[in-house]
Chain A
């Protein structure tokens, strides 16, 4: 086992890793930017090293300073969390050449999953269903049009290197494709320095459902019951739950089995998430795989009674994955992402938290690095807390989440709690009738109500 892990991240996920290290008896080293001097992951880690100014490119993405921090602290492994360097294959390689364990998939897997089109082709070969689409990346509009007409409209164009919705465009006709293709290329270029796109059949009314996997070094891959992530606004997940109100046990069993087979096939190691579109007939199509721990991993932990980060660390140290008991889902879990933002305009709302009362008690889990008196810096993402509710049924979980959010008091910054409460009371959400279009519809009907 490792003796000291450097955590190349910040916020709740860094704190999450600090806690897991403590439980495993491993020393933790926090790295932080000047803007995070008072961050909880820094205050609670065993050691800490300032690695640069607020700007992420000069601190959390500053590979030279991070590796120097490893050197001066004597850490023998790096946990990258999510975001920042988590899916940087080059960084994973550098770690290896420096004799450090990168706690994540091997660089080859990160590189494969980072190329969305290649990942899709590979997974198709490994047996996962994928949506009809281009088999190679497309750089040329005329090729795009040919492919699209063969697939049949509507289609969706996506950045090959992409993520987070950047470079994604839905086209319902050839003329829309003509308009959108160059825009998407420009966005992809700007966001990922790579204008390559690929084209897929667009499925309307689909759900965004993902399967968590964990693979160990002896080649065993374990997949878990689905997370339902369709409540998204502009491809940013807002509420996740497990099990999905939409997935029956047959579909679940099939998804788990097929993902385990495909992930084994490519030699998947460490934590990862296979994202699917599931259409109204319960047909599922592989979209992409994220080669890192996911923000919403806690809901899987709740229903299975496990700890994925600790398992990830153990596996990285060479242990086999041995679940503590038969892996069975019990109850229902839901996560609300509490962001420091205006609940109506979505404008970020950084600043000092003057007063804070987080929820607690039976069935409530809070993953947060916030504390009363802490200043939410304007430099990073706006996630201030993940509130996770767990109860025997979906209905009870929604009631519990509502009670938890109503009794959460965050003074000094605006948060999206009112938006969450609003969604949790939406009759369609309560009935489990939603897909990836839900938030857009919900927000526009609410806007109409208010102006009408």
Chain B
């Protein structure tokens, strides 16, 4: 760790740091975190974030369950997760401290708003005595700062109401953090100016709060040193920070452009998927039609109607909503119409932990329909991957005339990462044909992929009827013929299998054979990657792969698995991919499962790898 002097303070160079901002839900912690991320990203660090907020809208002030947090991991290398444990905790009140201190690294930094540690708040946080004063935090570097009073003092001339003044204290904390990590104020100041254009007093308040926080760091002798994180070595390009839900939304718009089809979204709000609806409803000038339906069933069935009409049709939801869509998913698969179902997984079952993350809808996506009803299932592995997988889901749905379920999860949906923005010309346009020629038209005719023709209303001469009753192959007439039913069941399954021909092989990171392969799917990519990198640093030999395509699996998956003595499958569920792998490949995979509503902890996976490697006596 290089040392450098600046303004009289030594500057410590770090590889990566994890910071947690925590406070009341009204304290603006999400905004603070986002600003800090943006500035950090702007400086060239790689990063990963984890917003974590209560399911109450504005939980009463000071309560433990009302704490809202934003965790951010940034660094020069190895940033794939928001970090197992923070190095720095900014706690705006006792409850925020109480809830988060147990995760803090030993000797970690705590910056807290000492003004908030009054009797009332201590009681609400269920502290018997003031932790700033007793010895309970002696294992950490504690920095109590009277943030509220300093903010009040700084803002006295801005002409804000008292409530608005105290609401600015998050910017004081942000300024202090900028100082501590040696980051510039300008990006945030810019943002404030644009955001609050014409609201002079608010601009004044935010600017002053931010700057006083910064100068407070500079002027006091509180901190022994400042920190600096080197730029990450990232591929050249233009970057922006993107969350998974935003990426999904613009991925769908991209798919609409690439397919030259209008985009239709039928959706019903549900955490954590609602933001996709929010984003898409902004893009009316892209011809996007968003229908906030009366319920999830109307969400998907309206999309089926739109698909019949020739749109790229989408429905978005989360677990309980997917459960409601199962009957209609079966209809879409029987109609053989293209449809993309985005499911942003959250903690289940039932209402479960609606604001927490989980990967537990995989089996529902695979098997949660009546009858033999295979649909394609793909999963995004990171916030920005949502963009690419939204495109992939759309491409497959259109090419094979099937419903495709895209699984993301609360963590990657709300979390953000820097994204090298691709140019439109990096993508191939989709070859979508809507049938217009009535010569020899048969509604359940088959192309080389077994897809049937898409003939949309308004096309003269192609009038035909679809429906959920079993259809005779080729003609599409209702058929009760036993052999036809068997045949159609096979065709529907084969169509999904055929997709193997147009999806990429699974790539293995590391040796393509060996003792241990760690294989995951979807949003655990960050945790697994970091864990495997850590294990390698510790000298372990281990390979890694992450599945984006689950139904069908990549063609080479069986091969890949067969080359390893041990296959570890870490999942944020009780072993759903493990089940499918055992079923398909009869491999005795080693499960690693946690159901805590949080991303998997890197160190636990590393431990598991060590255990498996060590457990084998050779």
User: Are both chains from one complex?
Assistant: no
Q: List residues of chain B with CB under 8 Å of any chain A CB.
A: none
Q: List residues of chain A with CB under 8 Å of any chain B CB.
A: none
